Every structure is written in C-alpha cells, then in structure tokens.
Amino acid sequence: MTSDLARLARRIRPGMTVALPVDYAGVSMAMTRPLIDNGAGDLHLICVPTGGLQVDQLIGAGLVRRVETSAVSLGEAGGAPRFNAAVKAGRIEILDATCPAIHAGLMAAQKGVPFVPMRGLIGSDVLARRPDWRVIDNPFAAAGDPIVLIPALCPDVAIFHVPMADRSGNVWIGRRRELAAMAYAATETIVTAERIVEDDLLADETTAAGTLPALYVTAVAEAPRGAWPYGLWGAYPTDTDALKRYAAAARTEDGFAAYMGSEVAA
Amino acid sequence: MTSDLARLARRIRPGMTVALPVDYAGVSMAMTRPLIDNGAGDLHLICVPTGGLQVDQLIGAGLVRRVETSAVSLGEAGGAPRFNAAVKAGRIEILDATCPAIHAGLMAAQKGVPFVPMRGLIGSDVLARRPDWRVIDNPFAAAGDPIVLIPALCPDVAIFHVPMADRSGNVWIGRRRELAAMAYAATETIVTAERIVEDDLLADETTAAGTLPALYVTAVAEAPRGAWPYGLWGAYPTDTDALKRYAAAARTEDGFAAYMGSEVAA
Amino acid sequence: MSPALPREILIHTIAGLLDGVRHVAVGASSPIPAAGAMLRRALDEAAREVRLSILGSVRHNFFTNGSAELFDSAAQGRLDAFFLGGGQIDGQANVNLVGTGDYPKVDVRWPGSFGSAYLYFTVPKVILFREEHSPRVMVDKVDFISAPGTSPPGVYRPGGPVALLTSRCLFGFDRARPGFTLASLHPGQTLDDVRQATGFGFAHDPAPPTTPGPDAATLRLMRGRILEELAETYPAFAADWARDLAAHAPEGATA
Amino acid sequence: MSPALPREILIHTIAGLLDGVRHVAVGASSPIPAAGAMLRRALDEAAREVRLSILGSVRHNFFTNGSAELFDSAAQGRLDAFFLGGGQIDGQANVNLVGTGDYPKVDVRWPGSFGSAYLYFTVPKVILFREEHSPRVMVDKVDFISAPGTSPPGVYRPGGPVALLTSRCLFGFDRARPGFTLASLHPGQTLDDVRQATGFGFAHDPAPPTTPGPDAATLRLMRGRILEELAETYPAFAADWARDLAAHAPEGATA
C-alpha cells in the first residue's frame, strides 16, 4: 500500500494546483505523508470549499505557496496552527474566497467556460481583495444590476478519499458530489479508497448513481482508514482527540516537526 | 391512482411553463392523459433537453403555446407528427435550442443567477433566432473573445417519472441527474413513481446518493408502468411498437383524435 | 421546575426568531441554534413541517448534491433562515470572520469567511449569534468585511440580518437606517452593562424589556425531547446542559 | 470469405477515422458509427483503452451525471470524437437538422439541432456521417445552420469537422480553405457519380483512389466479435447485417 501511495504522490510536481476536499467529504489523509515525502512544493492549494488538517500539514511542511479557500480550521479542535502562522508571517499567499465561489469556479471549469456569475459578494472585502474576479452589469437587466463573475478554477490534480473503488477505476462517492465536481474540473484525479471491490460499480444502477466514472480517475490506491483522523461517512467518525493532539503539538514549528516525525510516520 | 394523478394535474394552470424530461430519463406518460383532462392550456413546454411522445400529445391536444427544445422526435418511430404539423402551420411558437443550452438555462436557475455563459453557438441560426440570448465579449480575455450568455430557465412545474419514492416524498432518480436539475430550477415538482417504498431513501447512503430530497418535491403519486410506452431504466424497455402505432395514427389530426380516444384511455 | 437557564433563554429566543420558517440551516458546531431550530420544529409540528439542516452532519443532512447544495437551495429561495457568527460584528451588521489588523498579514487570523459572503445576501432571515458580547467583538467598524450588513439600492439582496443575539441581549436590525435596536435585555443585564460591552451605537427604549423566557410547558419540552434530540448530534453540549440542570434543580428534586 | 459489404466498408472507414481517439460518443440510432467505434476499440485493445458512449443506452453509458455530462465531458476535452448527420450538409460543412424552407414555418421540419451547436465546436474530431448522398442532402447552402462548419478567428473552437462519410465516398475537410476534398470513392462509384449527387463543389484528384476495405483478419473480427457486440444494442441492424452476409456467402459456405 505504501508504495502504491508513493507512486500516486509522484504525479505531483512542483508548482501544481491541487484541489482538496472539505473535512467531512473524504480527505485523503493517507496521501499527506507520501505528498510530503515526494517533496514537490510551491503548490497552489484549492480547498473545496474549506481546508483543515491536510492543508495545515502541507503548509507546515513548507510545500505550499498559495491557498485559495473559504476557511481553514481544525473544526472542534480549533484554528489551524500552521496555516495561521504562515498567513500572519506572510509566508503563504492567501486567496480568501467564500464557499459558493469555489464551487462556482469549479463549475466553470466543468462546463468549459471562462467564468460563471455569482450573486452576493458585492461590498465585501472578500471581493475587494480578489482582483482576479470581475464585476459586470447584468446584460439581461433593464436597470443597473451589478453581478460578480468568478473565473474558472482548473486544478492540475484533485486528491480525495472514498469508501470504495472497483477494478476499472470507478469510484463510489455517494452523495458527496463535490468530489465529482473536483474531478470534472481537474486535469488529473488521484483517489484513495477504503477498499477495492470486485463488482463493477457501474453495472448496478443503485451503486452507479453514486459513482464517479473511471473516465475522470487517473489513479486509485487502497488505503484502509485513509481519511483518519477525519471520518468517512458511513464508515467511521472523526477522531477529535487526534485532531486536538495535533492542534496542541503544532502550535509551534518545533512541535509540528516533532509531531510529524512521530505520530504520522507510525 | 387515477384520482391521485388527477389531483396532481390540477396543479397545472393555464400559461404555466412546464419542464419535461428526455425519452430515456423518466417521462411521466401516466400524467399525459390527466394533463389533457385537466385542460389547462397555453403552456410553455421546456424539453430537457429534447421531447417526444408526451410533448407531441400535449401539442396535439391543443394545450401548448410554445415549445423550447433541442429536438422533438419519436426516436426509432420517426418524426413527431403533431409537433411537426403545428410548427409548419405556425400554430405553436418554437424556440429552437441546443441540448447544453437547455442544461445551462436550468443551471442558471439552480444557482440563482440571471444567466450562465456557454461556448459554441456562434455563427449558428440557433443563436440568430434567439433574441433572448446575448453575446458578450469575455471580460477575462485579453483579445476579443465572444461568448453566448444563456438566461435562466425557471419552470413553474417540472413533471417526471421515477422508479421509486418513499413516504416522505423523497424520490429516487438514480444517475438521471437532469431530473434533479429540473426540480432545482422549477418552483414546483410533480413526480409519478413506479412504487412507493416504506424505507426512508435518505437513511441509507447507497440509496441517498441517487435520491432527490423531498425539499424539492411538491407532490408524488404511484403510477406503475408510468413511463409506458417509454421505458424506465432498470425496469422495462421502450415499447417501440406502441410508439410506431402512435406515429402512424397521429399523422393526421383525425387519426390523433381517434388514437387518443381509444388506446390511451384504455 | 427550576427557572430557565441562560442557555435556555437563548434557545427559546432563537425559536421565537424562527417563527414561520420552513427550512433552517445551522453550522456543524452550533448547538444553541440547532436546539432553537429543534424547538421551533417541535412547536410547529402539528401545523407544518420545519426542516433542519445541520452542516457536516450525516444524520441531519437531507442534501444529496454535495456541499454546493446548501448555497443552491438558498439561491432558489428554499432556505429561510441561517446563523452567522463573526470574530467582529459592527454597528452596520458587517461581519468579519477573517482576522484583525491589516489584511492579509493580519494580527489574529480566524478560519475565513465560509459561505457568509453569499448566504448573508440570499437568506431572508439571517440571525447573528455570538455569545461573547464584549467591545472586542462588538466593534464600531470591522477590520475586514467578510459580508456586509446592508447593500446599496440596485444590488441584488433578498436576504440579510434580522437580529443579533448575544449572551447579554437581543438586538433587532433596521436595514433602512441601518443599525441595531435593542429589543430586550436578558435576565440580570442592564442597559448600562450592554452599553459598556458594545463598541457600536444602537437605538433603545429608555427602559428596555427583559427577554421573555419559555413558559412551563415549553421548558418541559426543551428539557425533555429537545435535549434528547440534541444529544444525538451534540453530545458534549447536551451533557453540559444536563449537568447545569442537575446543579440548578430545586432541593429534593435531585437524585 | 465473401468480399466486404458496403456497410462493412463504412464501418471499417470509420474505425480508420477514429485512429488515436480515447473516447468516442455515438447517438442512440447510429449502428454504423457504433460498429466503427467497437472495431476501433477491438483493434486497439492491446495498446490502450478506447471508451465508447452510446447515448440513451443503459449498458453503454458510463456517465452518472445525467444528460449534461456528455457536453461537460466535451467541454473538458475528454471527448475526442463524435458523429453528426444532418438533413442538409453544405460545402462549408454547415449542418441543418431543423428543416427546409423559411424558418420557423418550415416546409419540412426535422427533429431539431440536438447538441450539434455545441459539440461541433468542442469535439476535436467530428465525423459527418450521412448514408444518403443526393443533391437534396448535399446542398450548396443549408436552409438553417444548426451548427456552422467553420468559425472566424477569435471564436473559441477547439473542435470541428474532419471528414464526411456517405454511401458513395469519403471526403476530408479543410478548415482553412474551407471546403471538402474527395479522399476516396467507395467500390463501384465514379467521380462523375459523386459530382452529380453533390450539390456543392469539392476538391479532388483527377483519379481518386478507392476506399480501402478491411483485410481478412479485420473482416473476420467484424463478422465475429463486432457483430456480436453490436447485436446487444442494435439487434435489428445486426440481424440485417447477418442476413446480408448469409446472402453473399460463397457457394458451399452456406449452411
């Protein structure tokens, strides 16, 4: 398994744009250490739509140049210590967004259009700090009607964890459709799965309904409990104690290094 | 069952915009006769993204003022006779579209935006004949880059047929996600189902993945073989002979009337 | 029965603010808003269905289209109420979930704006809920506007703030003025307490009323069914509430 | 083995046009393009995977996001080849799927443009396939442009027509000129036959080559495995093909 994950990690090259899912949607924590060992840095992370432990650890490991996100936190375990420190020190560039703007950018990529419009945002500093977004006057309105245009977000790679995959590379994402949205938008998609099943997930209409087809999946590897310490819906809950242990340790750079040298490698 | 369907049909009032699905996605043929009996006319039909037998019969019954569609046909059984006759006679207004433009308009409604952009179309008569669509210059491009904007399609009602529904009004649509797109975009959604099941479709992650939640469903009624003569995926195939019988009969207005007076009422 | 606890006043007040809603969403770590919504649902169940979405929950998730569906449902007018907090909230109802000091190299960094810059515009009843009511939270002007409290004419905005609920009081919000109006003081709070704890000006009666607590029947409902429902999703908070109840129980009623 | 039948020439030609594709989609009522794609898949299977989507089919549908997914996959560059027919096709490769005469009250109404006005722009290899090759189909100028053959500079267009295959011949398409060039005549056709049947002008060699048929091994593959695969989705067409084969079988080889 470890060598499989290392093989997957080697697809990541310096400077790539990498899309990662929200805590509860299937974070491939199993890939975090292989990504760090692989060492490709200067990454642009896109959190879909928010980030947590994995993002914090990649930042702590020095692999991240820029984070585009609606939030980064450890949820019940508090703020994301390495993220917060890096932002305050100006060591990473932060592109603050709002959840539906991330979804909108991925949707634009999915549809092959340069932008999609989005309501809200006007008058916020989120918008004021995003020179890459535009405001136009809605061409369909009689009177003035400003509306924001969000440009397409085109990740080089999406990485996530799912409950199961089949031998053909179809992966079951259930109702976590944001994982499909990430894969549609991304050039490549790397998936870890709790288990590899022998049945064809597309052969049965019930499982097909929750399946992302192999057309979008570049590589799959088995990784039991691959979301830990995050939970995986229908499989296991979040290990909040583990998140808190990390949160406490990673308050300092040394604490982070010590934690990564022990707990994660174990 | 018949009175249930009549109750559903009474939700349709004259002048409404009604979204109907493509042949193979779950056409509620069971609702066709109740809709005709209900008599609300002056309808604006939106075919998602193409129409067939149901559209042809509603047109033949004189209930339709306007059809917005990428195509209307009876598939293997040939052209749609009442549609073709009505278009040629100018008795209905036709808004010719292309499949992804219909999807784009529904997506705009789903996202609550006045329009979404779409590639293609430029130089076609499809675009030339749609003064309700706009072409703008992509504001993100350095040089000129014309792109079409498709306005939101907001149906008053969506009507379709599914394999199962539960007692809470959740309906299982499997991988026919265009049915969800129709429901998101529509104010009301009327669903017929092959069977009503006792289990909560959302309680199990496997069925939940293919379920449209009751939040979007206004009314449900049971209608076994409710797509006939169309097929329903995983349940029964299209009855092409029945389609051909209709196609032959409906070549003339009288033939259509005779057919509707006999076969469908039976 | 012992009198209503402070958190019970909050839960009951939220249920009142949610009067008439059909669908309310609450964040994953928001037990008090969730309890308020559960109470609303219980109070209305004879008359109509109140739907409650708890973000990130599997059990209280009736969405099936990923995390975008919450925002889409708001866009479609299918989400009536939502809660927003904020590291800073100012007198114009601007909220800041990003940080203090000069952006981007802020002095204190909070997680980020989440969906606020969208939902604040599109959800008709946004309830600002922040228990800490101090001058560092209730500021004259936020350092970063995650989402503005009001918008100029011509900006599409079917939604916005209707109230600000804190551990001290309840404010209403007047979008036209714009500004907050003190609606009621929680038991034990004075107008002066609130003035000193608040960094922004607000309108008020000379003698503001006290926030009403639940009647006995409602309190029984809260301590019975609502506490039980809440425990499924927020076990730690529910246990804490139960401990509080045991500590405040009248003599002889303790086990 | 009997020589290649006309439909076998078409299937084999399509397989040749699909050389190098990873994903090809065909319409629900397109057995010949489907057979061509199945042949391509079989020929390439040792080297790489060729995916085939048959629209409206349950069995050959590996999409799970409704009928929009085909178009999205084209938008993403994940669909390499597609087939378009047309009630009229003109010398600029404009296609008309809507009708003849003055729009909208046309003289003859066809079903409509389907996805042509999008896929013609976005799919790199669009193969125009229409068996009927007559002056009423191959016109100088279509009455309605469902989708234009070419676009002016500045219009986003990664896709477009690469060939026009009919019962008489194969044309290539030159986007720069723009116009068709006769690539080959099917067995039994002359340049003059094609000229008379074609309402538009086209470039050609003085003596155009004959469309090559499949070699013996390929023909065996087509009449065995491909015919069998095709029968699952197009039983009527497959039965017809099998009847043709039986009728043309050499003496002594019939049962």
Residue D27: pLDDT band by 50, 70, 90 thresholds? confident
Residue D254 in any domain: the answer is no
Nearest residue in B to D63, CA atom: B175
pLDDT tens by residue, C57-83:
777 788 999 999 999 999 999 999 999
Residue C1 in any domain: the answer is no
With beta carbons under 8 A apart, name residues in chain B contacting D67. Answer: 22, 25, 48-49, 99, 103, 178
Residue D232 has pLDDT above 70, yes or no: yes
Query: Are B111 and C65 within 8 A, CB to CB?
Result: no
* DSSP secondary structure code for residue C126 in this structure: E
Mean pLDDT of C97-104: 97
* pLDDT of the residue at D58: 72
pLDDT tens by residue, B127-172:
999 999 999 999 999 989 999 999 999 999 999 999 999 999 999 9
With beta carbons under 8 A apart, name residues in chain C contacting A24. Answer: 28, 56
Please say whether the beta carbons of B159 and B28 come within 8 A.
Answer: yes
Query: Are D64 and A214 within 8 A, CB to CB?
Result: no
Q: How far is C112 from chain B (nearest CA, A)?
A: 23
Residue C88 has pLDDT above 50, yes or no: yes
Q: How far is A3 from chain C (nearest CA, A)?
A: 31
Residue D150 in any domain: the answer is yes
- pTM greater than 0.90: yes
* pLDDT of the residue at D250: 67
Q: What residues make up the domain containing C87?
A: 6-248
- Enumerate domains of chain B plus CATH numbers: 5-97+153-226+234-260 (3.40.1080.10), 125-151 (no CATH)
The three-state secondary structure class of C219 is helix
Residue C254 has pLDDT above 90, yes or no: no
Residue C252 has pLDDT above 60, yes or no: no
Residue D55: pLDDT band by 50, 70, 90 thresholds? confident
Q: How far is D140 from chain A (nearest CA, A)?
A: 33
Residue C253 has pLDDT above 60, yes or no: no
Residue B1 has pLDDT above 60, yes or no: no
pLDDT tens by residue, C113-171:
999 999 999 999 999 999 999 999 999 999 999 999 999 999 999 999 999 999 999 99
- Tell whether B115 lies on the interface with A, counting CB pairs under 8 A: yes
Over chain C, what is the mean pLDDT? 94
Residue percentage of chain A with pLDDT more than 90: 94
Output the DSSP codes for A85-98.
Answer: HHHHHT-SEEEE--
Nearest residue in A to D23, CA atom: A215
Strand-pairing partners, residue C134, are none
* pLDDT of the residue at D255: 41
Residue A87 has pLDDT above 90, yes or no: yes
Task: Identify which of A152, A147, A146, A209 has the alpha carbon closest to the alpha carbon of residue A184.
Answer: A152
Residue D176 has pLDDT above 50, yes or no: yes
CATH number, domain containing residue C144: 3.40.1080.10
Residue C251's contacts (CB-CB under 8 Å, 6 or more residues apart) are none
With beta carbons under 8 A apart, name residues in chain B contacting D58. Answer: 233-234
Contacts across the B-D interface (CB distance below 8 Å): 149
With beta carbons under 8 A apart, name residues in chain B contacting C73. Answer: 215
Q: How far is B257 from chain A (nearest CA, A)?
A: 38
The three-state secondary structure class of D38 is helix
Residue A127: pLDDT band by 50, 70, 90 thresholds? very high
* pLDDT of the residue at B2: 64
Residue A5 token pair: 């994950």
Residue B264 has pLDDT above 70, yes or no: no
So what's the ipTM on this one? 0.96
Nearest by CB: A175 against B134, B141, B205: B205
With beta carbons under 8 A apart, name residues in chain C contacting B168. Answer: none
* pLDDT of the residue at A263: 60
Q: Which residues of D58-95 are buried (b: 16+ CB within 10 A; e: fewer)?
A: eebbbbbbbbbbbbbbbbbebbbbbbbbbbbbbbbbbb
Query: Are D120 and B120 within 8 A, CB to CB?
Result: yes
Q: For Cα atoms C83, C89, C90, give the angle at the middle one, nearest 5 degrees.
A: 135
* pLDDT of the residue at D95: 98
Output the DSSP codes for chain B.
Answer: -HHHHHHHHTT--TT-EEEEE-HHHH--GGGHHHHHHH---SEEEEEES-B-HHHHHHHHTT-EEEEEES-BB-GGG-B-HHHHHHHHHT-SEEEE--HHHHHHHHHHHHHT-SEEEESS-TT-HHHHT-TTSEEEE-TT-SS--EEEEEEP---SEEEEEEEEEETTS-EE-TT-HHHHHHHHHSSEEEEEEEEEESS-TTTSHHHHTTEE-GGG-SEEEE-TTTTTTS-BTTTB---HHHHHHHHHHTTSHHHHHHHIIIIIT-
Residue D114 in any domain: the answer is yes
Question: Number of folded domains in chain C?
Answer: 1
Residue C254 in any domain: the answer is no
With beta carbons under 8 A apart, name residues in chain D contacting A110. Answer: 72, 75-76
Residue B266: pLDDT band by 50, 70, 90 thresholds? very low
Over chain A, what is the mean pLDDT? 96
- Tell whether B214 lies on the interface with C, counting CB pairs under 8 A: yes
Mean pLDDT of A226-237: 94
* pLDDT of the residue at C190: 97
Output the DSSP codes for chain A.
Answer: -HHHHHHHHTT--TT-EEEEE-HHHH--GGGHHHHHHH---SEEEEEES-B-HHHHHHHHTT-EEEEEES-BB-GGG-B-HHHHHHHHHT-SEEEE--HHHHHHHHHHHHHT-SEEEESS-TT-HHHHT-TTSEEEE-TT-SS--EEEEEEP---SEEEEEEEEEETTS-EE-TT-HHHHHHHHHSSEEEEEEEEEESS-TTTSHHHHTTEE-GGG-SEEEE-TTTTTTS-BTTTB---HHHHHHHHHHTTSHHHHHHHIIIIIT-
pLDDT tens by residue, B196-237:
999 999 999 999 999 999 999 999 999 999 999 999 998 999
- Tell whether B207 lies on the interface with C, counting CB pairs under 8 A: no
Task: Identify which of D44, D46, D42, D55 has the alpha carbon closest to the alpha carbon of residue D20.
Answer: D44
**Dist CA D59 CA C181 (whole Å):** 63
Q: Which helix (H) or strand (E) holds C25?
A: strand C23-26
Residue D82 has pLDDT above 70, yes or no: yes
Residue C157 token pair: 């905005």
* pLDDT of the residue at C235: 87
Residue A196: pLDDT band by 50, 70, 90 thresholds? very high
**Dist CA B91 CA B61 (whole Å):** 12
* pLDDT of the residue at C250: 67
Residue D255 in any domain: the answer is no
Residue C131 token pair: 């228990």
**Dist CA D106 CA A179 (whole Å):** 46
Residue D119 in any domain: the answer is yes
Residue D235 in any domain: the answer is yes
Residue A207 has pLDDT above 70, yes or no: yes
